[in-house]
Amino acid sequence: MIKRKIPFGLRDGRLFQPDSVSRGLSCNCVCPGCGSRLVAHHGEKKVKYFAHYAKGECVRGYESAIHKAAKQILLEYKKIWVPPIHARKLLHDSTENVMAEESQSIEGRFVDIEEVEVEKNLGEVIPDLVVSALGKYFFVEVAYTHFVDEAKRTKLEKLGVATLEIDLSGLAVVPSMSELARLVVEEPSNRTWIFNPKEIELAQRVESAVKGKLTKAIARKNTKRKRYQRLVEQYIRMSDEDKLAVHLKQMGIRRNQLPIYLGVFVRGGNSFSTRPIVWQTAVFTHFVYKKELNDFGVLGVIDWCYRLFNITRVFPNSEKVAIWDFLKYLESVGILFYQGDQMFTVMVDELKRAAIK
């Protein structure tokens, strides 16, 4: 049976694989799990393995062989690759509609090993390996068929000791020592942190950093809003010609270069506290000019106009009718495309084409 195959036998405190000389009982090896005598087999397709000499089943033989082989390998190689640690946090302030994001990492690296203990009883948990490195220690769980479950994870977190799990589920049924060494020591894709206090520390640093970023972002938005409000108040006090001069400067043209589709007659066009040529140029500059393929809604234009112009209705909802007629006129000359549901798309920036008159 496959379960009785033991990849490594124990002799004089070291693990061995069957070789061309060690056949039958000549290895004098015992089971790493139960300590009973092993017999070396050279099986089909040149697979070499141990099996128990006496009848009966040792349920811990295979796992113990893997764990003790991992210990032997780590002590021989004196190093192990530990994976990186990442932390990321995104915060959103719904009041100001501002977001901030922060991410930090501790890079993966090889750690020099000082000592390794196998299945040391620590009361509530018995880690597969206890590895001493850099004056500290951490646990290594070697997972072949059994991975760390939630109950054990909780106990490990309670101890507060960093715990690394190495996934050996892809290991051959009877692995070679070299194959096991590669998977235990250096393979980066098969290991994850079950728990690491540095993850908590990193998450706290990221939390603090992103809160600082969000505070600064809110402050910047408040400053920008106040600056914009000052400009709006200044704009409202301007004469029509001064307002028009602002938009001409934004478009980089002179007064006599305004296109013919600005200042057109529309129903309710006199509802604003300025001439049609001024408010239409303002709307065009803000929502259309150099905004090809930009989408905007009628209600957004109306709200924006409420902030810049005083409204005197010449008939019910005359300002809304005026804006609607103006946008539909821009659609008729090919500048806008009406999507439906009060939404428009800027198709072309006509100032770049030919309609400047």
pLDDT at 44 over 80: no
Do 176 and 292 belong together in one domain?
Answer: no
**Residue ending a domain, choose from 36, 61, 86:** 61
In a domain, 36, yes or no: yes
Give the model confidence (pLDDT) of 201-235 as tens digits.
999 999 999 999 999 999 999 999 999 999 999 99
pTM across the whole model: 0.65
Domain that holds residue 285: 239-352
Do 37 and 125 belong together in one domain?
Answer: no
Give the model confidence (pLDDT) of 57-85 as tens digits.
677 788 888 888 888 999 899 999 999 99
In a domain, 320, yes or no: yes
In a domain, 132, yes or no: yes
Domain count of the chain?
Answer: 3
Do 157 and 269 belong together in one domain?
Answer: no
Give the chain as a 3 state SS string. CHHHCECCEEECCEEECCCCCCCECCCCCECCCCCCEEEEEECHHHCEEEEECCCCCCCCHHHHHHHHHHHHHHHHHCEEEECCEEEEEEEEECCCCEEEEEEEEECCEEEECCEEEECCCCCCCCCCEEEEECCEEEEEEEECCCCCCHHHHHHHHHHCCCEEEEECCCCCCCCCHHHHHHHHHCCHHHEEEEECHHHHHHHHHHHHHHHHHHHHHHHHHHHHHHHHHHHHHHHHHCCHHHHHHHHHHHHCCCHHHCCCCCCCCCCCHHHECCCHHHHHHHHHHHHCCCCCCCEEEHHHHHHHHHHHCCECCCCCCHHHHHHHHHHHHHHHCCCEEEEECCEEEECCCHHHCCCCC
In a domain, 91, yes or no: yes
Under the banding of pLDDT at 50, 70 and 90, the label for residue 23 is: low
For residue 1, the model assigns a pLDDT of 36
Do 199 and 82 belong together in one domain?
Answer: yes
For residue 354, the model assigns a pLDDT of 40
pLDDT at 156 over 50: yes
Give the model confidence (pLDDT) of 251-267 as tens digits.
999 998 899 999 999 99
Do 112 and 152 belong together in one domain?
Answer: yes
Do 133 and 251 belong together in one domain?
Answer: no
- Among 109-113, 169-173, 339-343, where is mean pLDDT lowest? 169-173
Do 195 and 103 belong together in one domain?
Answer: yes
Average pLDDT score over the chain: 89
In a domain, 213, yes or no: no
**Residue ending a domain, choose from 206, 229, 256:** 206
